[in-house]
Amino acid sequence: MNKPAAEPLSIPERKIAPEQVTLVYSTRDGLHLFSILEVQGMVVLDHDLKRAFEAGVKGAGQLVGAVCRERVEYDVDITFEEFEQKIERQVGTVNTNRVVTVSCEIHRLVAA
């Protein structure tokens, strides 16, 4: 079931960081790209999928934190290996020159 597209956050409209955002992956010409569906302004690019994945999760917290003016940290509920398998199930290989899109939910960590 497809969920409706979220409206991108903007500083005047959003003061509280969302509990969950969608990390969106695509690949083009050997580069792995990550962005956030709900917030415009972040694109992580790397030739190494694992580095890009980890930077995407960390970058999500940094960007949402900057937009909402609070400290935000997110964590993904699947391992990198599980995410890589998800890509392989959907497109057959992680090293493709086709444009593919795979997403996963990342959840806000509760402050200690």
Alpha-carbon distance of 85 to 65, in angstroms, equals 30
Residue 15 lies in a domain: no
pTM, full prediction: 0.74
Residue 13 lies in a domain: no
State the total domains in the chain. Answer: 1
pLDDT at residue 14 greater than cutoff 70: no
Alpha-carbon distance of 26 to 46, in angstroms, equals 11
Residue 82 lies in a domain: yes
The mean of the pLDDT values for the chain is: 78
Alpha-carbon distance of 24 to 109, in angstroms, equals 19
pLDDT at 109: 73
Where is mean pLDDT largest: 2-11, 43-52, 101-110?
Answer: 43-52
pLDDT at 50: 94
Alpha-carbon distance of 102 to 50, in angstroms, equals 14
CA distances from 7 to 14, 21, 25, 35, 89 (A): 11, 11, 18, 14, 29
Domain containing 92 equals: 20-108
